[in-house]
Chains A and B, each alone.
Chain A
Amino acid sequence: MSVLEKTVREPVAPAPPRGRRTTAWLLTAGLVAGLVVLVPVAAGTGAYPVPVGDVFASVLHRSGLGGGELDRIAESVLWNVRFPRIALALLVGASLGCAGALMQGVFGNPLAEPGVIGVSSGAAVGAVAAIALGLNFAGNWTVPVLAFVAGLSTVLLVYGMSRSGGRTEVVTLILTGIAVNAFAGALIGLFLFFADTAAINQITFWQLGSLSQATWPKVLAVLPCAALGLTVAPLYARRLDLLALGERPARHLGVDVERLRIVLVLVIALLTAAAVSVSGIIGFVGLVVPHLLRMAAGPGHRFLLPGSALLGALVLLAADLIARTVAEPAELPLGVLTALLGSPFFFWLLRRTRRRQGGWA
């Protein structure tokens, strides 16, 4: 396949120094190990008691390798509630983490966030419209479908409006994003104003962000988007490194910057809109995760992109575990939790990074 040929033929150029490369490998191993441990723990934790042993027994039983079946409710909780939720947490977390790293790379700004270019608010307009107008053309799917379509079109709109003469300047792009965000905010406000109380409740809850509505069909809907985005992204790691030098220097080094931008903005939109459409607005994962990894293993995107996907998955799985267990049997909105934990952490990050490197290069 052409994708593979390309990767083989273009080994990544700027090899990091030994220390960083070792850190990257150790971190990758650590993250994978973390996931291997946390997934069964998350499967075995929740309001309904299913011990980890029973989780394995049930999985073995279903894959025909012995084990044993649990009682009906436990089986149902495990397979219809918890497993899809864990799968969705992993997919959404990986998508948000990777999209955050991509976005920061594309815009050459460590503070870039998918919200900046309007994916989140665009998706929110779609979802809010579906709820407020009581649209129901695709059943339970109406909200995610509209959120996805609106998020994607917002990104394309922002990108299209900020291009001139075949180029896109970061400042123009971000300013356009701000204007579009404001417009989306106004639309949401307008829908809220005309919505009835039940719809307002639903909108508020959707905006808080949650994985509580995880089902297998939703997992299957996000899976292709996430898989495509997460596979394509690392192919551009080397070129993203070069983009850190600036647009012109990157082009001088053989990067077709415009094409890189188009492809990556589409990938970002795909990853974020898919995630937002099923889970609502879950902030700070895309911002904090790449930052942490950059601090630990350097800014090379070869590690940063897959690493952010792994850490994003791990963080969101842990956050969701907390969200659904800390107030048993009710649950906290996940988006509120990530923002609550994420923003002070981000402040600390900012101050620390500023102190260390004396500004933003």
Chain B
Amino acid sequence: MKRPSGMARPLRITRALGAVRPRGRPVPPAAPVPGEVLAEAEGLTVRLGAREVLADVGVRVRAGEVLALVGPNGAGKSTLLSVLAADLPPTAGCVRIHGRPASDWSVPELALRRAVLPQSASLSFPFTVGEVVRMGRAPWTSVRPEDDGAAVAGAMAATEVTGLAARPFSALSGGERARVALARVLAQCAPLLLLDEPTAALDLRHQELVLRLCRERALAGDAVVVVLHDLGLAAAHAHRVAVLRAGRVAADGPPREVFTRGLLSRVYEQPVEVFPHPRTGTVVVLPDRAAGPSA
């Protein structure tokens, strides 16, 4: 996947100088086939300074499913998401997005293929909520601008921020900001959604709302990767969970199979209880408060 270095250098310079060079408009992706692998990591190793943040990680993200990344703090969930988003080049291993190595895509092409919700949303200038959500349409301006209105309106309605449209983003509460940021990501209409803790700032109702939205998008054929801390939410909404521990995948599979008392207690270094919900049968994970911390 590495270009010969003799080629890479002049190419970079041409890009840097060719600010106004006409280029072919980026081609939007075809609608994904259910089960198609939209993002894939193999033998992924990431070193930041001397620390090995990810070691030999392999995951696949398929169209039509919600993949939850869970694990204790510092396990490498956000780093894995950054690598899948092509933000961070891996030290070793390979990342493919829509079947091509991540580094082969141009920035505008990637923008049509994956949308990313960062952990915290910030904004340097007092743009209004409406303007912020509309920014999500930027990748489409040269491709299909006629869909903009509908996509923006749909995303705002889905995240319940329509009423905030005229307010400046900076005047919103943390939860409102998080939903507006999500609306922007949804408006981007990319088949691969990478969401880093979308529920962190939200109340109970909106947590449910956001994860329902994830499922809806998966149902519509997109692939959704979502970093979560709440194992109950992951168990209830994700089709598949990948449990990370110290930079490695400790388990990968449907929540019912992966979420076991032994695995979770080991991964989180905290005894947990796992039992099915009496009415729905969904897995419920709770810390085992009866046991001592090092049982």
List residues of chain A with CB under 8 Å of any chain B CB. 2-3, 5-6, 9-17, 20, 105, 108-110, 232, 235, 238, 241-246, 248-249, 251-256, 258-259, 262-263, 294, 298-300, 357-359, 361
Does B100 sit at the interface, judged by CB under 8 A?
no
B135/A245 in contact, CB under 8 A: yes
Complex Cα gap A238–B134 (Å): 11
Binds A, one of B51-59, B62-70, B109-117, B276-284: B109-117
Residue in B closest to A258 when the chains form the complex, CB atoms? B16
Chain B 94-116 against A: per-residue CB contact (8 Å), 1 yes, 0 no?
00000000000001101110111
A361/B124 in contact, CB under 8 A: yes
- Find chain A residues with CB under 8 A from B108 CB: 254
- Find chain A residues with CB under 8 A from B118 CB: 246, 248-249
A244/B22 in contact, CB under 8 A: no
Give, as a whole number of angstroms, the nearest-CB distance from A205 to chain B: 37
Give, as a whole number of angstroms, the nearest-CB distance from A27 to chain B: 17
Complex Cα gap A249–B26 (Å): 18
Residue in A closest to B12 when the chains form the complex, CB atoms? A166
- Find chain B residues with CB under 8 A from A249 CB: 116, 118
Known contacts A13-B134, A13-B141, then 15 further A-B pairs from the complex at CB < 8 Å, ordered by chain A residue: A9-B25, A10-B142, A11-B145, A13-B135, A14-B134, A16-B131, A20-B128, A110-B124, A241-B127, A244-B127, A251-B87, A253-B136, A253-B138, A298-B126, A299-B125
A-B contact pairs, 30 of them (CB 8 A): A2-B22, A9-B142, A11-B141, A13-B135, A13-B138, A13-B140, A14-B131, A14-B132, A14-B138, A17-B165, A20-B128, A243-B124, A245-B122, A249-B118, A251-B107, A252-B110, A252-B115, A252-B116, A253-B138, A254-B139, A256-B15, A256-B107, A262-B16, A298-B128, A299-B127, A357-B126, A357-B168, A358-B170, A358-B171, A359-B170
Give, as a whole number of angstroms, the nearest-CB distance from A41 to chain B: 34
Does B166 sit at the interface, judged by CB under 8 A?
yes
Give, as a whole number of angstroms, the nearest-CB distance from B184 to chain A: 8
- Set A15, A254, A259: member contacting B19, Cβ < 8 A: A259
Complex Cα gap A194–B140 (Å): 60
- Find chain A residues with CB under 8 A from B134 CB: 13-15
Complex Cα gap A357–B126 (Å): 8
Complex Cα gap A255–B136 (Å): 12
A252/B145 in contact, CB under 8 A: no
A241/B135 in contact, CB under 8 A: yes
Complex Cα gap A361–B167 (Å): 13
Residue in A closest to B129 when the chains form the complex, CB atoms? A17
3 smallest A-B Cβ distances: which pairs? A254-B111, A299-B125, A108-B124
Complex Cα gap A106–B290 (Å): 55
- Set B20, B116, B127, B170: member contacting A6, Cβ < 8 A: B20
- Find chain B residues with CB under 8 A from A248 CB: 87, 116, 118
- Find chain B residues with CB under 8 A from A10 CB: 141-142
Complex Cα gap A263–B15 (Å): 11
Does B148 sit at the interface, judged by CB under 8 A?
yes
Complex Cα gap A253–B165 (Å): 20
Give, as a whole number of angstroms, the nearest-CB distance from B160 to chain A: 19
- Find chain A residues with CB under 8 A from B145 CB: 11, 13
Given contacts A244-B124, A251-B87, contact A263 B169 (CB under 8 A): no
Does B188 sit at the interface, judged by CB under 8 A?
yes
- Find chain B residues with CB under 8 A from A14 CB: 127, 131-132, 134-135, 137-138
- Find chain A residues with CB under 8 A from B15 CB: 256, 259
- Find chain B residues with CB under 8 A from A3 CB: 20
Given contacts A244-B127, A248-B116, contact A357 B170 (CB under 8 A): yes
| A-facing residues in B16-44 (Cβ within 8 Å) | 16, 19-22, 25-26
- Find chain A residues with CB under 8 A from B122 CB: 245-246, 361
